[in-house]
């Protein structure tokens, strides 16, 4: 996560520099050395060589992946806060790596961050080979979050988190009662309860660690391919490798249609969804029903109930045995489709397919939402930090108590959330000129938007590497 956050600054700050000179002189610059420093810190997070698993000493690190850690959201009393801050487990997944790589390319393309070296891009892209779904008899670009390994006993490829599985195995071999008694003795009785719950839910977790390919990773990979295609003169080796790994890009559109959630369909294979998804979108579904609209929504897992029946026996099983609609997955899918069409990676003909067009024709809705409701919300969340600077908080680190029971705000996601807010405003309110390679504010952008972007970039400049805030 740390890396993702850092790379967000690069894009943010890179863009904010571009605005310099184009707008009122009151905007403050971010030194190029600072952007270089963020770039170097990010690159340092890429694993250069395979590091094998040797518990309890060493976790597996796959060559090419950028760091991301699994953490648990303990919060409240000081010991819980410490557990949250100290416990982390290195995870090898393609999402973080694809995301960071895309951000490095965007920061270079749209901002003035250093040009990523092809060596780093190739390391990242090569690590994706084991994420391409190998359980189909044809080339496809369905991607799995965790690497797939072959299980000869069932003749099938399975996607599973090596370090998490090993850690669960190790912990479940500890004498649980003894561990709990020991924790109670040293005053960690409250936490012992949670440790027990987690260990006792081992089977539930292990089952959830056999996931099918998903549309999140699939379309982040398409977004990355679109960027490389756009910059193929500058990164010809990286583009060639991506292109070789993705010889059948349009397969993702077939999957998109096949696995869409169709609430008004009579087909029982596509008209059901995780009740949690239904719960949050029930009013949206009701409104569509009232207007007689048909709906096809992007799901998370590339698996349906029929496939689940045979694949679960071979170690490929969507969590809770049911698909869901996740807004962030939908957002990455819209991003992937539009990037692919706009960059020319795929022919605009894919949009002639009415179903794909419906899933992608979101511009007007999104434009209205980002220009009005989203912008107003973000501005309302900006917190002043002196010298006309601003920061943003979400939730991480804001739910703790001091030893005397008073609320404590640690702002542990302050860097990340501030960078996100600035990026959202910049993407909404600037346009990029290909010929001059500069971004500038759109006509009619309010001064307050400009001030908040500028003030937040300054806050990031001051704090992103100060060590005062997580990560
Ligand atoms: C662990 O403790 C529970 C009650 O807290 C008890 O039922 C169980 O038998 C204990 N297990 C062992 C192995 O001592
Ligand atoms: C591409 O994917 C489609 C399914 O989406 C499949 O039918 C087709 O055979 C694949 N083409 C190749 C060349 O593998
Ligand atoms: C635009 O968004 C506002 C809410 O921010 C809503 O009231 C309005 O109906 C939307 N307009 C269109 C054309 O969707």
Q: What pLDDT score was predicted for residue 13?
A: 39
CA-based nearest residue to 294, from 262, 326, 327, 267: 262
The mean pLDDT of 16-22, rounded to a whole number, is 39
Long-range pairs for 427-435 at CB < 8 Å and ≥24 separation? 427/370, 428/370, 428/371, 428/374, 428/375, 429/375, 429/453, 430/15, 430/19, 432/110
Number of alpha helices (DSSP H) and beta strands (DSSP E) in the chain:
20, 10
Please give the distance, rounded to the nearest whole angstrom, from the Cα atom of residue 267 to the centre of ligand 3: 33
pLDDT score at 4: 39
> Apex CA 89: angle with CA 88 and CA 94, to 5°?
125
- Strand pairing partners for 184? none
The minimum-distance atom of ligand 2 relative to the CA of 253 is: 5
pLDDT > 60? residue 83: yes
Cα(427)–Cα(449) distance, integer angstroms: 12
Pocket test for ligand 3, best of 368, 374, 428 (most atoms within 8 A of CB): 368
Task: Give the ligand whose atoms come closest to the C-alpha of residue 370.
Answer: 3
Ligand nearest to the CA of 179: 1
Q: Whose alpha carbon is nearest atom 1 of ligand 3?
A: 368
Gap from CA of 177 to ligand 1 centroid (Å): 6
Q: Which ligand is nearest to the CA of 192?
A: 1
**Predicted confidence (pLDDT) per residue in 367-409, tens digit:** 889 999 999 999 999 999 988 999 999 999 999 999 999 999 9
What is the spatial distance between Cα 163 and Cα 387, in angstroms, rounded to a whole number?
45
Q: What is the mean pLDDT of residues 298-318?
A: 96
Rg (CA), the chain: 23
Q: Give residue 361's pLDDT.
A: 60
**Model-level pTM?**
0.89
Give the Cα separation of 87 and 83 in Å (integer): 6
What's the confidence (pLDDT) of residue 173? 82
Residues with CB under 6 A from ligand 2: 138-140, 248, 251, 254
CA angle 226, 229, 230 (to 5 degrees): 90
Query: Which is higher by pLDDT, 434 or 129?
Result: 129
Average pLDDT, the chain: 90
172 C-alpha vs ligand 1 centroid, how far in Å?
14
Whether residue 363 has its Cβ less than 6 Å from ligand 3:
no
Nearest alpha carbon to residue 8 among 452, 367, 426 = 426
Write out the H or E segment, with its range, that includes residue 149. strand 148-151
Q: Rounded to an integer, what distance in angstroms lies between the CA atom of residue 323 and that of residue 357?
A: 22
Does residue 373's CB lie within 6 angstroms of at least one atom of ligand 3? yes
How far is ligand 2, taken at its centre, from the CA of residue 126, in Å? 22
pLDDT beyond 50 at 9:
no
% residues pLDDT > 90 (the chain): 70
Protein residue whose Cα sits closest to atom 12 of ligand 3: 368
Q: Could you report the per-residue pLDDT of 143-198, keeping only the tens digit for each? A: 999 999 999 999 999 999 999 999 888 887 878 888 888 888 887 888 888 888 88
**Pocket residue to mutate for ligand 2, from 135, 136, 138, most atoms within 8 A of Cβ:** 138
pLDDT digits (tens, 9 = 90+) for 21-50: 334 445 678 899 999 999 999 999 999 999
Q: Check pLDDT > 80 for residue 271.
A: yes
| Length in residues, the chain | 471
Closest to 452 measured CA to CA, from 19, 112, 33: 19
Residue among 58, 60, 61, 81 at smallest CA distance from 71: 81
Mean pLDDT check: name the lowest of 3-7, 128-132, 371-375. 3-7
* CB 368 less than 6 A from any atom of ligand 3: yes
Name the 3-class secondary structure at 55: coil
Q: Whose CA is nearest to atom 9 of ligand 3?
A: 368
């Amino acid at each position: 996560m740390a890396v993702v956050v850092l790379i967000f600054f690069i894009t943010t700050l890179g863009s904010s520099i571009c605005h310099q000179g184009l707008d009122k002189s009151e905007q403050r610059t971010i030194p190029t050395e600072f952007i270089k420093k963020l770039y170097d810190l990010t690159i340092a997070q890429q694993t250069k060589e395979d590091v094998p698993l040797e518990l309890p000493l060493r976790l597996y690190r796959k060559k090419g992946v950028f760091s991301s850690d699994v953490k648990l959201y303990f919060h409240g009393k000081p010991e819980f806060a410490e557990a949250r801050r100290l416990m982390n487990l290195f995870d090898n997944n393609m999402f973080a790596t694809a995301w960071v790589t895309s951000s490095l390319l965007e920061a270079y393309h749209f901002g003035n961050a250093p040009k990523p070296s092809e060596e780093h891009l190739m390391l990242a892209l090569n690590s994706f080979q084991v994420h391409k779904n190998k359980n189909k008899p044809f080339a496809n670009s369905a991607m799995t979050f965790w690497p797939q390994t072959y299980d000869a006993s069932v003749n099938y490829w399975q996607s599973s988190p090596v370090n998490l599985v090993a850690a669960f195995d190790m912990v479940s071999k500890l004498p649980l009662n003894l561990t709990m008694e020991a924790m109670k003795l040293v005053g960690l009785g409250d936490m012992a309860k949670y440790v027990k719950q987690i260990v006792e839910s081992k089977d539930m977790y292990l089952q959830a660690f056999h996931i099918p390919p998903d549309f999140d990773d699939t379309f982040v990979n398409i977004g990355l391919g679109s960027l490389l295609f756009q910059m193929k003169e500058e990164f010809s080796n990286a583009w060639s490798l991506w292109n070789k790994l993705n010889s059948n890009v349009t397969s993702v559109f077939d999957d998109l249609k096949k696995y869409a959630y169709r609430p008004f369909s009579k087909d029982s294979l596509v008209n059901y969804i995780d009740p949690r998804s239904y719960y949050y979108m029930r009013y949206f579904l009701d409104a569509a029903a009232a207007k007689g609209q048909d709906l096809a929504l992007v799901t998370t897992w590339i698996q349906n109930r029929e496939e689940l029946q045979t694949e679960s026996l071979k170690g490929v099983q969507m969590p809770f045995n049911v698909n869901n609609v996740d807004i962030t997955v939908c957002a990455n899918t819209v991003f992937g489709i539009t990037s692919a069409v706009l960059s020319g990676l795929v022919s605009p003909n894919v949009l002639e397919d009415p179903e794909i067009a419906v899933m992608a024709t979101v511009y007007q809705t999104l434009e209205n939402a980002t220009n009005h409701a989203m912008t107003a919300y973000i501005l309302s969340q900006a917190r002043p930090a002196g010298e006309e600077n601003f920061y943003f908080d979400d939730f991480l680190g804001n739910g703790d108590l001091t030893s005397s029971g008073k609320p404590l705000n640690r702002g542990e996601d302050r860097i990340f959330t501030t960078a996100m807010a600035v990026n959202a405003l910049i993407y909404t309110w600037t346009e990029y000129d290909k010929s001059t390679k500069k971004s500038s504010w759109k006509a009619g952008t309010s001064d307050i938007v400009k001030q908040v972007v500028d003030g937040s970039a300054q806050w990031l400049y001051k704090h992103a590497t100060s060590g005062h805030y997580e990560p």
